[in-house]
């Protein structure tokens, strides 16, 4: 008996991949993704049924907000039972933030949500968009014994599939735009798509749970040699945000300064949360490793282990919405692995 082919839904949210040249060849404009096969006829050869939809007003990825995450999430959730997999086309600048947010919004996935995009518009001769799109669709449609091969939120870009909340954009010039520094790739596309099955996330329950809602009450302080600590102390004293993320050196270190530590303690004692995120793209925050990090641990600052910056922001906003007045629960949940974002 012939197996029924998979159904995949393409959702175009905006970004470079959806652009083609205008008739005068002087500018780029979005095209109607319902006619995607006209621009990428190779899609007709993929052995699955493909539907395509687009946001009424596609959004440049620099303009993405948590409200737009929810709009896309609501739509995808409404179609969840109708399709075997989803491909979300998104601008590259904030794709890792959106994909990370989706990894927390959709719990117990039993089918793939694959984000992809391109560095060059799909209407250009040298575009990377066609390969990214075609392979993302193939991965979204891929099943073994009636079960989706990938059952999580992922990013596909330039022959590699990454866990969404482990991925960071590293280049605006190269086709290899993304990298997962602290976790292995999920798949690599060559002549065949070679899956790293041992790296896959599996659902912890049978029923999909959709949890939206974000509260973006977050500020950041980036440390650098020569920073005026009086300005840092002023921000800590006068900000009205619930969370301040200290973007620190190495494994989570800051200059030793008694007044700075006092200012951090006062900020935390007012009912706020202070997180420690390293400037390093690889490795993890270990506040107990050096004296400069231990002072933060003693002050009540929370090290975020090996999460990416994008995952920390998305998860923090998601948890702030859930626990706006329960700091202990927020911290507990932040440090618990929810969707493969932390190595345990």
- Picking from 210, 238, 257, the residue at the C-terminal end of a domain is 210
> Is 235 found in the same domain as 204?
no
Structural domain of 112 = 6-210
User: Is the Cβ–Cβ distance between 167 and 308 less than 8 Å?
Assistant: yes
In this structure, the answer to whether residues 34 and 183 fall within a common structural domain is yes
Q: What is the pTM of this model?
A: 0.94
Please tell me the predicted confidence (pLDDT) of residue 274. Answer: 98
Assigned domain for 344 exists = no
Please tell me the total number of residues recorded for the chain in this structure.
344
Burial of 126 (0-12, 13-18, 19+ CB in 10 A): exposed
Q: Is residue 342 part of a domain?
A: no
CATH number of residue 328's parent domain: 3.40.50.40
Catalytic residue (choose from 16, 127, 167, 292)? 16
| Each residue's pLDDT tens digit, 46-72 | 999 999 999 988 898 999 999 999 999
Using alpha carbons, select from 165, 217, 158, 168 the residue that is nearest to residue 190: 158
Give the pLDDT of residue 146.
93
**pLDDT tens string 148-189:** 999 999 999 999 999 999 999 999 989 988 999 999 999 999
Strands 187-189 and 193-195: antiparallel
CATH number at residue 123: 3.40.50.1170
Mean pLDDT, residues 275-293 taken together: 91
- As for how many domains the chain has, the answer is 2
pLDDT at 23: 60
Counting Cβ atoms within 10 Å, is residue 323 exposed (0-12), middle (13-18) or buried (19+)?
middle
116 is catalytic: no
pLDDT exceeds cutoff 80 at 30: no
Q: In this structure, is residue 339 part of a structural domain? A: no
| Domain match, 46 and 150 both | yes
Q: Is 294 helix (H, G, I), strand (E, B) or coil?
A: helix
Do 142 and 251 fall into the same domain? no
Residues 6+ apart with CB under 8 A from 219: 235, 239, 241, 243, 244, 245
Are 253 and 330 part of one and the same domain?
Answer: yes
Predicted pLDDT of residue 98 = 98
Domain match, 325 and 203 both = no
Pair type for strands 178-179 and 168-169: antiparallel
Q: Has residue 127 been placed in a domain?
A: yes
On whether the CB atoms of residues 13 and 74 are closer than 8 A, the answer is: no
Q: Is residue 284 in a domain?
A: yes
Q: What is the rounded distance in angstroms from the CA atom of residue 305 to the CA atom of residue 39?
A: 43
Compute φ and ψ for 287, nearest 5 degrees: -70, -15
Judge whether residue 2 has pLDDT over 60.
no
Distance CA 9, CA 1 (A): 25
Same domain, 113 and 259: no
How far is the CA of 215 from the CAs of 11, 19, 146, 147, in angstroms? 25, 32, 38, 35
pLDDT 10s digits, 90-128:
999 999 999 999 999 999 999 999 999 998 888 788 888
Contact 118, 128 (CB under 8 A): yes
- Report in angstroms the alpha-carbon separations of 50 from 116, 189, 264, 340: 16, 21, 52, 29
Cα gap 310→312, rounded to integer Å: 5
Structure tokens at 240: 């009205």
């Amino acid at each position: 008996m012939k197996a029924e082919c998979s159904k995949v839904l393409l959702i175009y949210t905006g970004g470079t991949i959806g652009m083609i040249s205008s008739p005068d060849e002087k500018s780029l404009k979005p095209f109607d993704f319902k006619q995607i096969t006209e621009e990428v006829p190779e899609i007709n050869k993929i052995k699955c049924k493909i539907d395509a939809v687009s946001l009424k007003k596609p959004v440049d990825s620099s303009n993405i907000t948590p409200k737009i995450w929810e709009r896309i999430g609501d739509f995808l959730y409404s179609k969840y039972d109708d399709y075997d997999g989803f491909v979300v086309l998104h601008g590259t600048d904030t794709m890792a933030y959106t994909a990370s947010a989706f990894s927390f919004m959709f719990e117990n996935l039993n089918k793939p949500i694959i984000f992809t995009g391109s560095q060059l518009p799909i209407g250009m001769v040298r575009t990377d968009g066609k390969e990214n799109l075609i392979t993302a669709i193939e991965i979204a449609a891929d099943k073994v014994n009636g079960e989706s091969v990938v059952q999580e939120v992922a990013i596909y870009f330039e022959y590699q599939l990454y866990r969404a909340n482990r991925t960071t954009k590293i280049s605006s010039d190269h086709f290899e735009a993304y990298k997962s520094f602290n976790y292995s790739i999920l798949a690599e596309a060559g002549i065949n798509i070679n899956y790293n099955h041992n790296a896959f996330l599996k659902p912890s329950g049978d029923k999909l749970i959709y949890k939206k809602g974000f509260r973006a009450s977050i500020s950041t302080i980036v440390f650098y040699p020569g920073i005026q600590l009086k300005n840092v102390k002023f921000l800590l004293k006068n900000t009205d945000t619930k969370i301040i993320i200290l973007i620190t050196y190495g494994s989570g270190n800051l200059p030793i300064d008694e007044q700075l530590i006092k200012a951090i303690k006062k900020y935390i004692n007012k009912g706020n949360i202070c997180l420690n995120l390293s400037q390093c793209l690889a490795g993890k925050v270990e506040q107990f490793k050096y004296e400069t990090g231990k002072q933060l641990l003693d002050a009540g600052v929370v090290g975020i282990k090996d999460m990416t910056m994008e995952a920390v922001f998305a998860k923090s906003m998601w948890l702030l919405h859930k626990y706006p007045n329960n700091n202990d629960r927020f911290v507990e949940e932040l440090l618990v692995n929810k969707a493969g974002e932390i190595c345990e």
